[in-house]
Structure 1
Amino acid sequence: MRITYGPWGETLGELVAAARAAEEAGAEALWVPELHRSATVAAAAVAQGTRRARIGTAITLAFTRSPMVTALEALDLDELSGGRFVLGLGSGVRRLNEDWHNVRWGSPVAHLRESVAAVRHIVAHAVDGAPMVLDGAHESLAVRGFRRPFPQARAEIPIYLAGLGPAMTRLAGQIGDGWISHELCSPEWLRERALPALEDGLGAAGREREALDVVVSAVCSLDPDPVVARGRAAGVAGFYASVRSYADFFAFHGLADDQAWTITALRSGAGADDLASAVSGRMVDALTVTGTAERVRDRLAAYEGVADTLKLTPPVYGLPAAETRAAQARLIELIRELT
């Protein structure tokens, strides 16, 4: 499995320093999310501070930008990184789109399919000046007389799709260059739910399994004291358990009651970043990778044979910066050992 990393930084400067350290330790790709920062701005910072590793967004929200803006940002990032950029796109959940960004939700699978087609079309034709015309239910395009007068690092930029539910995961198999799992993804979910959906999508499109990079995310917390390691990861599990849209995911792991308890804590006034105390130990054990370095290595080995790429990330939610910083330092050392 390829070892990749999602760096953290309290400042952009620290984010870049962590990315550089992970690259030097052997990480093949560096992934930046979109929630507290813009994914594309963070990717630009990381691209300028590194030399070899691929730079990916995990993920950029697809519906909050037009395909034209997404394509132009991807072209700029590919130029800035010297052809190292990977565009990771995802729909996000309905509440995030409608309440935070005031964009329509509609039919997310069909919408994302059209968004990807439009981005690829623009990347392919922005430099040659050909008319760019697409008729879509969600993303129409009618561009004439436009030519991007700048050098283009590559004719194509890989597009990875995030998906949790079966329909979105199937779409990744149909049209994606890669699939990015949810931040919480157990080996059992990968084998029993994600891979069958991906294989359905690949089969429907007549594609081979080798055409798709399966990227599994693993939140890792290492410490000589297993109790400390588990405690650092609890906030991550709580943050995602507060999202009702993920009910099927938690029920699959036998954690429906645990998720309900977390949602009750949220409704009682706890912030989404402050739910660690409402999270059961079994939820942390099922959905994150914690413990001593030896135990974490053993847990990661469970993804062998089913994932192509591991995306390791430190715990971030509900922790003081110093705690995340310590967790990150141990994780980068683990990357050095693994590679």
Structure 2
Amino acid sequence: MRITYAPWGETLDELVDVARRAERAGAEVLWVPELHRSATVSAAALIGATSHAQVGTAIALAFTRSPMVTALEALDLDEMSGGRFVLGLGTGVQRLNEDWHHARWGKPVGHLRETVRNIRLFWEKATTGEVIEAEGEWEPIRIRGYERPYPVLRTDIPVYVAAMGPAMTRLAGRIGDGWISHELCSPSYLEDRILPELHAGIDAAGRERKDVEVVVSACCSVADDAATATRRVAGTVGFYASVRTYAEFFAFHGLADQQQRVIDAFREGRGADYLADSVDAAMVDALTLNGDAARVAAQLAVYDGLADAVKLSPPTHGITPQETRAAQDEIITLIAELTGGTA
């Protein structure tokens, strides 16, 4: 099971420094998100600062760029990295796409299927001068008179699909080189809800399980003091619990009542980043890795045999940058202990 990491930095300089440290510690992939920064710009910064770890987007928004722009950026990042780039794509939610980005939403499963098809088609034909054309309900493409004058390092850059719901998870199994989980994904949810749908998609496409890397995301808080470990990560749990879309996820873990308490606090006016006081220890224990290094290592080991890789990330919601830094330092130390790297 590969250990990978999502570095955090208040500045790009800090982000780059943390990426270097995580690579030395033994993280095999460095993942960058898209919300407060551009995923592709962040990826470029990490690529320039590292030498052997893969660099991936987890995730880049699939519909806010055209498939051609996404394909071009991926080709450039892959060239910059010497073939270390992984394109992780996700849909985001309807409001984010339509209201924030003025992007088309459509039916997200079909829309993402056509988007990934177009990206791969562009990679295949970008240097040939051939017509690049495909029909589609959401992303038809028709490119004539185009020929990329620069070499393409790889036409098969890995495309990972972020998914939580059953239909999108099946799509990841059908078309993805990998699947990336939501930031909160327990071993039981992975085993009972995700893997059956992923296997259904794999089987429907006539593929094998080894064709799709399963990357589970795990928000992680390491501290010798149990209360500190719990407090640091409670805000992240509260942030996600405030969203009704995740009702089935929390209900699966027997946490429907606890989620409702968080939603009630949110409706009373607390910001989504400030809900830690409404999150109890049961929610934190069920959905995150937390505790001292030995306890977190044991929690991490439960994913072995279910996931091919774990993407560790530090807590960021409802705590100060100093606390995130402290949590991040502990995670990097843990990665080094697990992999034999250098903290």
- Tell whether the 8 Å contact from 1:222 to 1:229 is kept in structure 2 after alignment: yes
- 1:14 Cα deviation (Å)? 0.4
After the TM superposition, list the runs of 4 or more consecutive aligned residues in structure 1 that deviate by more than 4 angstroms.
none
User: SS in structure 2 opposite 1:312?
Assistant: strand
How many residues are treated as equivalent by the alignment?
339
Would the aligned equivalents of 1:93 and 1:245 in 2 still touch at CA under 8 Å?
Answer: no
**Paired amino acid for 1:334:** L
What is the Cα deviation at residue 95 of structure 1? 2.3
In the TM superposition, residue 160 of structure 1 has moved relative to its aligned partner by 0.2
Partner of 1:26: 26
| CA gap 1:195/1:160 in 2 versus in 1, 3 angstroms | same
- Residue 164 in 1 paired to residue 160 in 2? no
C-alpha deviations, 1:254-277, integer Å up to 9, x for none?
111222221222222111111111
Instruction: Say whether the 8 Å CA contact 2:170–2:200 is kept in structure 1.
Output: yes
| Contact residue 87 and residue 157 of structure 1 kept, 8 A | yes
Residue of structure 1 equivalent to 2:44:
44
Return the TM-score normalized by structure 2.
0.97
3-state SS in 1 of match to 2:290: strand
Partner of 2:233: 233
* SS class of match (2:302): helix
Query: Percent of pairs identical after alignment?
Result: 63
* 1:318-337 C-alpha deviation (Å, 9 max, x unpaired): 11110000000010010001
Alignment match, 1:203: 203
How many Å apart are 1:99 and its aligned residue?
2.5
Structure-1-length-normalised TM-score? 0.98
Q: 1:113 — aligned with what? A: 113
Distance between the aligned counterparts of 2:63 and 2:244, measured in 1?
A: 21
Compute the displacement of 1:97 (Å). 1.8
Deviation of 1:244 (Å) = 1.5
Equivalent residue runs for 1:129-168 within 5 Å: 129-168=129-168
Alpha-carbon distance in structure 2 between the residues aligned to 1:84 and 1:276: 37
What residue in structure 2 maps to residue 330 of structure 1? 330
1:48 is matched by which residue type in structure 2? G
Q: Which residue of 1 is the match for residue 247 of structure 2?
A: 247
Deviation at 1:155, TM superposition (A): 2.1
In structure 1, the gaps of 5 or more residues are none
TM-superposed deviation, 1:243: 1.6
Q: List runs of 5+ in structure 2 lacking aligned partners.
A: none
1:291: how far off? 0.2
Deviations 1:101-149 (A, max 9, x none): 2223221001110000001111111122211011100001010111111
Cα distance between partner residues in 1 of 2:243 and 2:49: 34
**1:2-55, Cα deviation, whole Å (9 max, x unpaired):** 111000001001001101100001111000011111111110100101000000
- Between 1:60-69 and 1:263-272, the stretch displaced more is 263-272
- What letter corresponds to residue 272 of structure 1 in structure 2? A
1:265-290 Cα offsets, whole Å, 9 max, x none, are 22221111111111121111111110
**In 2, Cα distance between the equivalents of 1:124 and 1:271?**
46
What residue in structure 1 maps to residue 71 of structure 2?
Answer: 71
